[in-house]
Amino acid sequence: MLTEDELIESLWEKKIRLNKRVLTDWRRRHYLPQLKSKGLGRGQGKFYFWADGDVIGRVALVDELLSEGFTGTRINMVLWLLGYDVPLYLIRERLQTGLERFERVLTGGKRGAGEIEDQIGQFASDYFSIAKRLKQHYPELQLPTDGSQEELE
C-alpha cells in the first residue's frame, strides 16, 4: 500500500517534483489508477492508498512522457501498450481518431468507390515512382515491388 504522501516523498528522492494536485489531475486523466479507500472505523474517516506497488514507475513514466511533449490520450495509449490498465474507451477513441485521419489522407476526402480507388491507385503510383528513385541512390535498400515483372532498377 502506498499513500499520496508516501508517493510524493518517494518521488522527491528520485528528483521528481510533484504535488497532490498533479496526482489528482493525472488520476482524472486516467494516467494513474484511482485511489482505493479503507474505513478507519465509525466516524474516523477513510484511509486512501494505491494497492499497486508499481505506481511509482507509472508516475515516472508519465512524467517522462510529458517532458517529451506527449499529451492527452497519447499518454494513455503508451501506458496501455506497456500493459497498464487504461479505460478501453480512451484507447478506442484514440485508435478511431487515428484511423479517420489515415482514411482522409488515403482517400483525399473522396467518398465514391471509384474516386477512392483512383486516389489509392495514385498513392501506389507515387510510392513506386519514389521507390525507383531511392533504389538508384541507395541500391542496398530492400523495397517492395509493385508485383509486376519489372523490378525496381
pLDDT mean for each 10 residues of the chain (153 residues): 91 92 96 89 85 87 94 93 93 90 78 78 77 71 56 47
pLDDT at 149 (0 to 100): 41
pLDDT at 147 (0 to 100): 56
Task: Tell me if residue 112 falls in helix, strand or coil.
Answer: coil
Say how far apart CA 63 and CA 124 lie, in whole Å. 40
Name residue, grid cell 497519447.
74
pLDDT at 142 (0 to 100): 66
pLDDT at 144 (0 to 100): 60
pLDDT at 104 (0 to 100): 81
User: Measuring CA to CA, which residue among 15, 65, 92 is closest to residue 32?
Assistant: 65
pLDDT at 145 (0 to 100): 60
Q: How far apart are the first and last CA of the chain?
A: 63
C-alpha cell at 99: 484511423
Residue 131: HSE in the Cβ half-sphere, 13 Å Cα cutoff = 16
String of b and e for 11-42 (b: at least 16 CB within 10 Å)?
Answer: beeeebebeeebbeebeeebbbbebeeeeeee
Residue 70: HSE in the Cβ half-sphere, 13 Å Cα cutoff = 15
Cβ 36 vs Cβ 49: under 8 Å: yes
